[in-house]
A and B are shown apart, each in its own frame.
Chain A
């Protein structure tokens, strides 16, 4: 029996089936990330676990107890909101101690717990300030501190980094990872950013249209995506997915007679760009993006009237320019084959355990 269990959880918004029979087992101490495009239901699912949105069907168990109908206040969960949701009329100290005060915890204990959390989050000199006297990053930390102080069974994060600028986002991401390492608390984290998913998660849950597409460790999802959607959602730049009919010469790459009617997917780092004449797939350069540590080469291959674009990524700088003729190669055993419905049917991805 896992720590947090979702069984066939359903949610209807009017006639719309927003969450479709979700089953998920979460172990104690795991860092789970819900990731997916806008509208996939990840925030809805989080709010259903939190108790802020009602569960219409199925059940939710926490630590052996059925909490499907239990109000939020009794579930022993803490949530960090996207907008931080700090109490504007209370000081930082009062914000962080609110839950403990409601539970009539002894004042000395409250003092000690809040002090400890403030130390971990570098908030000790802000304890007497009110939220409007704090910067965005500081408010974020108060929101996290408010959750830590309660030592709940599960931490819930709802896109906590969305409102921060890029530099602060990266910094805070590292802090959250460290926090999880130090506290070891079970965490569910919702984001639309797959970089956050890849770096923070023990396991990632990819959601689309209210249903789970795949659950697995970040690298598991990266190397062995179960379908085209997951393959293209995880990884930046996006995996190249091309209709097998549009790429000539695939027999040589995939193996004679094994090219399916569907799509082939190759990650940019597995596309090798060779000078014209070399490589099994001829084409020409459309665009070069030099990012410093990486260089992205956008190449147009195939016939000019229904040609396709492939993106290649390499660590070395390139002397190529738009218009140059090139030949592309695909690293052996690095491609993924998808059928017309988008399911993985062959290639590296198919080697995943069922």
Chain B
């Protein structure tokens, strides 16, 4: 009994400690956002202070938050919807019309995510430049979609595989064409997978910083660009940086909070039922 309690206590304390370590940067971010610049760079760091909205006001004044936020929303949403539209038929054919090469193709798709994005930076930049698409939402949407496609295909494939093939055959016998099969059988049964895949890729696209910074600036810049603009040669304005960061991540944290069940399901490939 004593040993069991000890083990439980140790586990609980460890869990809390690990959580604290992981969440601490975020907590500090939130705290710093409400400080003045002097308070932000004070040593030793201040935990208790009079909060102020001064940094938020400055960020709003200096740069057009809404403009960047709009770009983030557009690129994330469009790339997710586009990605799902392409990945779903691909996953459908791989799950229900499997051939000897299907596994290989899936592996190859996954392997493209194993290369650091910077490896493709120069070719993609040159292509975007040649197409006149630098600093355009189009370029970002295309790159985000392609980055997330392997993940989407994999997750949808896993989800679709769980649907018994003969239900689809029954639907076919009942008079459903391919679209009918998808609408009436796959969508209801794979709704969880579709939702969690979409949400996960929405979050990934929102957080995408590498391509946003390299392919866009003022016109098509996303919130990642906004944050980066506060790391300037003039120095690091911690308070304003924190405020800008907080404004950048707030929307997606809210979305994530309300859909956490689906997100967990998506991230664990539905293994936790």
Q: Which residues of chain A have a CB within 8 Å of any CB of chain B?
A: 50-52, 71-74, 77-79, 81, 83, 85-89, 98-99, 102-103, 146, 150
Contact = CB atoms under 8 A, between A and B. Distances in A.
B6 to A, nearest CB: 43
Interface string B210-245: 000000000000000000000000000000000000
A146 B164 contact: no
A87 B172 contact: no
Contacts of B172: 51-52, 71-73
Interface of B: 164, 166-167, 169-177, 180, 184-185, 188-189
Given A73-B176, A73-B177, A102-B175, A89 B188 contact: yes
Contacts of B175: 73-74, 99, 102-103
A85 B168 CA distance: 8
Contacts of A87: 167, 170-171, 184-185
A79 B173 contact: yes
Nearest to A52: B169
A81 B188 contact: no
A81 B189 contact: no
A55 to B, nearest CB: 16
A99 B170 CA distance: 10
Q: Which 6 A-B pairs have the closest CB atoms?
A: A99-B174, A85-B170, A85-B166, A72-B172, A73-B175, A89-B188
B173 A72 contact: yes
A50 B174 CA distance: 11
Given A71-B172, A72-B173, A83 B188 contact: no
A87 B169 CA distance: 11
16 contacts: A51-B172, A52-B172, A72-B169, A72-B172, A72-B173, A73-B172, A73-B174, A73-B175, A79-B173, A85-B169, A87-B171, A89-B189, A99-B175, A102-B175, A102-B176, A146-B170
Given A81-B166, A87-B167, 18 more contacts: A51-B172, A52-B172, A72-B169, A73-B172, A73-B180, A74-B175, A78-B174, A79-B173, A85-B166, A86-B167, A86-B170, A87-B170, A88-B167, A89-B188, A89-B189, A102-B176, A146-B174, A150-B174
A81 B169 contact: yes
Contacts of B184: 87, 98, 102
A85 B174 contact: no
A81 B177 CA distance: 19
A52 B167 CA distance: 12
A97 to B, nearest CB: 10
B164 A102 contact: no
Contacts of B171: 87, 98
B116 to A, nearest CB: 42
A200 B50 CA distance: 88
Contacts of B167: 85-88
Nearest to A78: B173
Contacts of B170: 79, 81, 85-87, 146
B176 A77 contact: no
A77 to B, nearest CB: 7
A81 B180 CA distance: 20
Nearest to A53: B169
A172 to B, nearest CB: 19
A86 B173 CA distance: 12
Given A52-B172, A88-B189, A98-B184, A83 B166 contact: yes
Contacts of A79: 169-170, 173
A73 B173 CA distance: 5
Contacts of A98: 171, 174, 184
B208 to A, nearest CB: 35
Contacts of B173: 50-52, 72-73, 77-79
A85 to B, nearest CB: 4
A73 B175 CA distance: 4
A50 B171 CA distance: 12
Contacts of B174: 73, 78, 98-99, 102, 146, 150
Nearest to B189: A89
B109 to A, nearest CB: 27
Given A52-B169, A98-B171, A85 B164 contact: yes
A33 B33 CA distance: 78
Instruction: Select the residue from A74, A102, A150 with max chain B CB neighbours within 10 A.
Output: A102
A271 B170 CA distance: 48
Given A89-B189, A98-B184, A83 B164 contact: yes
B162 to A, nearest CB: 11
Contacts of B166: 81, 83, 85
A209 B226 CA distance: 70
Instruction: Select the residue from A72, A81, A83 with max chain B CB neighbours within 10 A.
Output: A72
B118 to A, nearest CB: 45
Nearest to B165: A85
Instruction: Select the residue from B166, B170, B177, B189 with max chain A CB neighbours within 10 A.
Output: B170
A77 B164 CA distance: 21
Contacts of A99: 174-175
